[in-house]
A = this chain, B = another copy of it.
Amino acid sequence: MSGSPPNRSAGRDAPSPRFSINQQTVKQWSLPELADGCAAAGVRGVGLWRAPVQEYGVAAAARLVRDAGLTVTSLCRGGFFTALDPKERADALADNRAAIDEAAALGTNTLVLVSGGLPSGSRDLHGARERVADALGELMPYAAESGVRLAIEPLHPMYAADRCVVSTLDQALSLAERFPAEWVGVVVDTYHLWWDDTIGSQIRRAGAGGRIAAFQVADWVTPLPAGVLLGRGQLGDGVVDLRWFREQVDACGYRGPIEVEIFNPALWERPGAEVLAEVLQRFDAHVMHVR
């Protein structure tokens, strides 16, 4: 139509500068393919995972993303702090120091932490959560020296036994608030938190305290697959009011990246560029609500 602005009629606008694609969403891409694919799509932010970065080499990966003009919005993930065995616990802390080093090398100030589940044979959720707090206390000075902020991610309660004993934003904030906001924050991920009727007030609490270290989006679709790990939905395919979440974090002053993190084998079977283009379109429609 004649009233359309020229850049619209010439093709799609550049992605929102807040948009970041988490590497797991386009897992079919190697790191160089990810860097090229983001450049081609005008995407400037990526969330990376430790395993593929280590495989490529941390220094090489850091160079690759820097040369591509990409900002690493977060590194996933440290954590798994709940072991009772002293040796396992020491190993976990050492591994988290390595993760802090890797985050610093990649130029990101955000290390996402998944707390860990119950140790084998244990039924003590409270004790496990206290061990998470202890680990944060041990790691925080090292993180601060390295300029990396620890970001506690509450995972959906369906993961409480085997993956993450921190299930709500309330719990994550209660842990984070024992430490300075500069070095310990929380992750707000729509997939994990959408069901919680107190989430609006908890996001305000997080914002008021300057605790929002990362904002991640994915949709909730059913039925859940066996193991419930790889059932996240493409933005707009499920029941989460993604725009409402984005408006909540915006309203409390968060201006950081919005990272799309979808674990979904159906997306991994398609060409990465096609998936990224679809994610960008869905992001505009369902998160930013651009028409």
- Residues of A participating in the B interface, judged by any CB pair closer than 8 Å: 118, 122-126, 129, 156-158, 160-162, 167-168, 171, 194-197, 220-228, 238-241
Contact = CB atoms under 8 A, between A and B. Distances in A.
Contact of A224 (B118, B126, B158): B158
Dominant secondary structure at the A interface: loop
Given A223-B227, A227-B224, A239-B118, A195 B123 contact: no
A131 to B, nearest CB: 15
Copies of this protein chain in the complex: 2
Contact of A161 (B157, B162, B197, B220): B220
Nearest to A118: B239
Nearest to A121: B239
Given A226-B225, A239-B118, A157 B123 contact: no
13 contacts: A118-B239, A122-B239, A123-B240, A124-B241, A157-B157, A158-B228, A160-B194, A161-B222, A167-B195, A168-B197, A223-B226, A224-B228, A228-B228
A168 B198 CA distance: 11
Contacts of A171: 197
Contacts of A194: 160
Contacts of A224: 158, 224, 226-228
B158 A158 contact: yes
Contacts of A167: 195-197
B220 A157 contact: no
